Amino acid sequence: MVAETYRLLETTGRLGGAATRFKARADWQGIARCAAVRRQVWNPGSAVESPGSMDRPSTSPELTTEDIPVFSTAYGFQIGSQRFENVRITWAQHFGKERRWSDGWGLMIEAPIVFELLDGIEDGTITASAARDVLGQVTRDMTEHCDGQHDNEEAQAVARCFGDCDDCKQTEAEFIRYDTAKRDRAEKARNPENYPYIVTGRLAHAADCRHVADVARYAGVYDRSNEERFRALLKQYTHRDRSLIEFDHEPLDWDGLERWAEGRTGPQGGRYYRACKVCRPQIP
């Protein structure tokens, strides 16, 4: 909203000239208060199991919700002799990609003040330059107050990534291969008659073991017909530690289980694998 207001002010044709006669100033009229809103996000899923971790991805893609902070406060504007009281400004963290690099991205200002500023510019009581100056001060104040990463260029770039940054473009083919492989394993997990075992790390499970039940529920996330969803998942895959994303859960038939066990048997016959203590499957 603030970014869009900037654009309106820049196109009024009243920049410069008499603008130097106007002094713009903004001041706090209240303490910024923090709230939280629920936002829906797509979780691409992973085989990692880390109970209690807020960063833990689930083992199947799903639409989940997360709390994001919202800071709201009141400002007073002084532009020349004109005073604007109790103007509500909100920092809401994320907006659309169209104006991601425009001034004011991530902030909202109440619509009535936009009309009042435009009316003041139209009748000549204020200038677009002065209005832009005061909004610029508000933007800087709110961003520094609310965004702990406001001076971190890398963090700001990630926040403005919509699955279309250079890193995401380089990762896209890898992400598609990752999803394809997980869908293949999910398809096998849904066929326990032919693949009665699922191995993960050094553990062998029966296909119906509760510890590996999510493997069969994986439905795949690569769906180019929903570009927004795909890009959101690609961003999450790219901008987190991909070393945590491993194809740990693999459905196997008996021959596959024997090969898996053979690869984990030492030269003296020591076993570097074991059966799950919950489902207790038969193992070689």
* pLDDT for residue 279: 94
Q: Which residue has the higher pLDDT, 114 or 17?
A: 114
Asked, for residue 11, whether it belongs to a domain, the answer is yes
Q: How confident is the model at residue 227 (pLDDT cuts 50, 70, 90)?
A: confident
Q: Which of 152, 186, 205 is the C-terminal boundary of a domain? A: 152
Q: Which residue has the higher pLDDT, 58 or 150?
A: 150
* pLDDT for residue 119: 93
- Per cent of the chain over pLDDT 70 is 70
Asked if 116 and 84 touch (Cβ cutoff 8 Å), the reply is: yes
- 132-148 average pLDDT score: 84
Asked, for residue 67, whether it belongs to a domain, the answer is yes
**Structurally, how many domains does the chain consist of?**
2
- Sign of CA pseudo-dihedral 154, 158, 159, 160: positive
Residue 6 sits in the same domain as residue 118: yes
Asked, for residue 282, whether it belongs to a domain, the answer is no
* pLDDT for residue 60: 40
- 220-241 average pLDDT score: 80
Asked, for residue 45, whether it belongs to a domain, the answer is yes
pLDDT of 107 higher than 80: yes
Q: Which residue has the higher pLDDT, 38 or 106?
A: 106
For 228-275, the DSSP string reads: HHHHHHHHHHHTS-GGG----EEEE-HHHHHHHHHTTB-TTS-B--EE
pLDDT of 128 higher than 70: yes
Residue 138 sits in the same domain as residue 21: yes
- Sign of CA pseudo-dihedral 216, 218, 219, 222: negative
* pLDDT for residue 57: 35
Q: Looking at 90-94, 122-126, 202-206, which range is the least confident one?
A: 90-94
Residue 93 sits in the same domain as residue 171: no
Residue 126 sits in the same domain as residue 182: no
Strands (E), 80-125: 82-91, 107-109
Asked, for residue 161, whether it belongs to a domain, the answer is no
Residue 120 sits in the same domain as residue 195: no
Residue 132 sits in the same domain as residue 233: no
Asked, for residue 191, whether it belongs to a domain, the answer is yes
Asked, for residue 118, whether it belongs to a domain, the answer is yes
Residue 79 sits in the same domain as residue 201: no
Residue 42 sits in the same domain as residue 127: yes
Q: Name the pTM for this structure.
A: 0.61
* pLDDT for residue 25: 55
Asked, for residue 244, whether it belongs to a domain, the answer is yes
Residues 6+ apart with CB under 8 A from 241: none
pLDDT of 261 higher than 90: yes
* pLDDT for residue 61: 40
* pLDDT tens-digit series, residues 47-73: 333 333 333 333 344 444 455 566 778
Domain containing 9 equals 2-152
Residue 135 sits in the same domain as residue 189: no
Q: Looking at 26-30, 33-37, 187-191, 223-227, which range is the least confident one?
A: 33-37
Q: Looking at 62-76, 162-176, 180-194, 199-213, which range is the least confident one?
A: 62-76
Residue 119 sits in the same domain as residue 229: no
Identify the helix (H) or strand (E) that includes residue 216: helix 213-217
* pLDDT tens-digit series, residues 14-30: 333 333 333 445 555 54
Q: How confident is the model at residue 94 (pLDDT cuts 50, 70, 90)?
A: low
* pLDDT for residue 52: 31
Residue 80 sits in the same domain as residue 15: yes
Q: Which of 152, 186, 217 is the C-terminal boundary of a domain? A: 152
Residue 10 sits in the same domain as residue 148: yes
